[in-house]
A and B are shown apart, each in its own frame.
Chain A
Amino acid sequence: MVGAFGVGKTSLVRRYVHQQFDERYHTTLGVKIDTRIVEASKEPIKLVLWDMEGADPFEADKRPLARIRSYMKGAHGLILVADGTRPATVKAALGLYHDFCREFQFIPAIMLANKADLTTEWRFDESVLPDAISLFQTSALNGQNVEEAFTALGETLSAL
Chain B
Amino acid sequence: MKRVSRRAAHYIRDELLKRERFIVIALDSRQKIVSVNRSTPDWNLPGLIRGSVLPDSLASLLNAASDAAEPMVFPYLELNGFFVDIHVLGDSESADLVIHDVSEAHETEQTLQQRAHENSLLSEQRAALNSELAELNEELLLRRRQAEQASAAKSRFIASMSHEFRSPIASIMGYADLLQTELPDSDNPRALQRASWHLLTLVENLLEQAREGEENVSLNPTHFSLDRLAGDIEALFRTQAAAKGLDFEVTSSPYGIDVECDELRLRQILINLVSNALRYTRQGQVSVHFKHRDDTLFIRVRDTGRGIEPKDIERIFEAFTRVGEGNTSGAGLGLTITRQLIKRMGGRLKVESEPGAGSEFRVAIPCPCIQGEHDEMPPLSGTVLWVDDDQDILSLYQVVLENWGLRVITGSSITEARDLFKIHDCPVVVTDMHLTDGNGVELLSHLRAEQPDIVGILISGSGVVDLAPEIAGKGIRAFLQKPIDAELLYKEIAAAFAGE
Report which of A25, A30, A73 forms a contact with B64, defined as CB distance below 8 A.
A73
What is the number of residues of chain B that contact chain A, defined by CB distance less than 8 Å?
27
Task: Give complex CA distance A48, B56 in Å.
Answer: 8
Task: Give complex CA distance A53, B112 in Å.
Answer: 14
- Say yes or no for A32: interface residue by CB 8 A criterion: yes
- Say yes or no for B370: interface residue by CB 8 A criterion: no
Residues of A with C-beta under 8 A to B63: 74
CB contacts under 8 Å to B, within A15-50, are 25-27, 29-33, 35, 46, 48, 50
With both beta carbons as reference points, the residue of chain A lying nearest to B57 in the complex is identified as: A33
- Say yes or no for A5: interface residue by CB 8 A criterion: yes
Report which of A27, A33, A74 forms a contact with B114, defined as CB distance below 8 A.
A27
- Say yes or no for B74: interface residue by CB 8 A criterion: yes
Task: Give complex CA distance A27, B121 in Å.
Answer: 11
- Say yes or no for A154: interface residue by CB 8 A criterion: no
- Say yes or no for B83: interface residue by CB 8 A criterion: yes
Residues of B with C-beta under 8 A to A54: 117
A53 CB → nearest B CB, Å: 8
CB contacts under 8 Å to A, within B112-161, are 113-114, 117-118, 120-121, 124, 128
- Say yes or no for A14: interface residue by CB 8 A criterion: no
- Say yes or no for B409: interface residue by CB 8 A criterion: no
Instruction: Decide if A29 touches B113 in the complex (CB within 8 Å).
Output: yes
CB-CB under 8 A for A30 and B117, given A70-B72, A71-B64, A73-B64: no
Residues of B with C-beta under 8 A to A53: 76
- Say yes or no for A6: interface residue by CB 8 A criterion: yes
Instruction: Decide if A29 touches B76 in the complex (CB within 8 Å).
Output: yes
- Say yes or no for B15: interface residue by CB 8 A criterion: no
Task: Give complex CA distance A7, B326 in Å.
Answer: 67
Instruction: Decide if A31 touches B76 in the complex (CB within 8 Å).
Output: yes
CB-CB under 8 A for A70 and B114, given A25-B121, A30-B83, A86-B124: no
Residues of A with C-beta under 8 A to B65: 70, 73-74
Task: Give complex CA distance A5, B122 in Å.
Answer: 13
- Say yes or no for B496: interface residue by CB 8 A criterion: no
A14 CB → nearest B CB, Å: 13
Instruction: Decide if A27 touches B117 in the complex (CB within 8 Å).
Output: yes
Report which of B61, B77, B109, B128 forms a contact with A74, defined as CB distance below 8 A.
B61
Task: Give complex CA distance A74, B62 in Å.
Answer: 8
Instruction: Decide if B60 touches A6 in the complex (CB within 8 Å).
Output: no
- Say yes or no for A91: interface residue by CB 8 A criterion: no
Contact pattern, B 11-22, Cβ under 8 Å of A = 1, otherwise 0: 000000000000
How big is chain A's contact interface, by range?
A: 20 to 34
Task: Give complex CA distance A46, B73 in Å.
Answer: 25
- Say yes or no for B339: interface residue by CB 8 A criterion: no
With both beta carbons as reference points, the residue of chain A lying nearest to B77 in the complex is identified as: A31
B127 CB → nearest A CB, Å: 10
B75 CB → nearest A CB, Å: 5
Residues of B with C-beta under 8 A to A70: 64-65, 72-75
Instruction: Decide if B118 touches A31 in the complex (CB within 8 Å).
Output: no
Task: Give complex CA distance A29, B83 in Å.
Answer: 10
- Say yes or no for B362: interface residue by CB 8 A criterion: no
- Say yes or no for B110: interface residue by CB 8 A criterion: yes
Instruction: Decide if A35 touches B110 in the complex (CB within 8 Å).
Output: no
Report which of A6, A27, A74, A86 forms a contact with B110, defined as CB distance below 8 A.
A27
Instruction: Decide if B106 touches A71 in the complex (CB within 8 Å).
Output: no
Task: Give complex CA distance A53, B106 in Å.
Answer: 12
With both beta carbons as reference points, the residue of chain A lying nearest to B63 in the complex is identified as: A74
B293 CB → nearest A CB, Å: 66
Instruction: Decide if A31 touches B78 in the complex (CB within 8 Å).
Output: yes
Residues of A with C-beta under 8 A to B60: 33, 48, 50, 74
Task: Give complex CA distance A78, B401 in Å.
Answer: 98
Residues of B with C-beta under 8 A to A32: 78
Task: Give complex CA distance A75, B61 in Å.
Answer: 9
Instruction: Decide if A25 touches B118 in the complex (CB within 8 Å).
Output: yes
Report 11 cross-chain contacts, Cβ distance below 8 Å, ordered by A residue. Answer: A6-B120, A25-B117, A27-B110, A29-B76, A29-B106, A29-B109, A31-B76, A67-B76, A70-B75, A73-B65, A86-B124
Show the binding face of A for B, using Cβ within 8 Å.
5-6, 25-27, 29-33, 35, 46, 48, 50, 53-54, 67, 70-71, 73-75, 86, 121
Interchain residue pairs A-B with the least CB separation, the first 4: A30-B76, A74-B64, A29-B110, A33-B57
- 5 new A-B contacts, CB < 8 A, other than A30-B83, A74-B64, are A5-B117, A30-B76, A30-B77, A46-B56, A70-B72
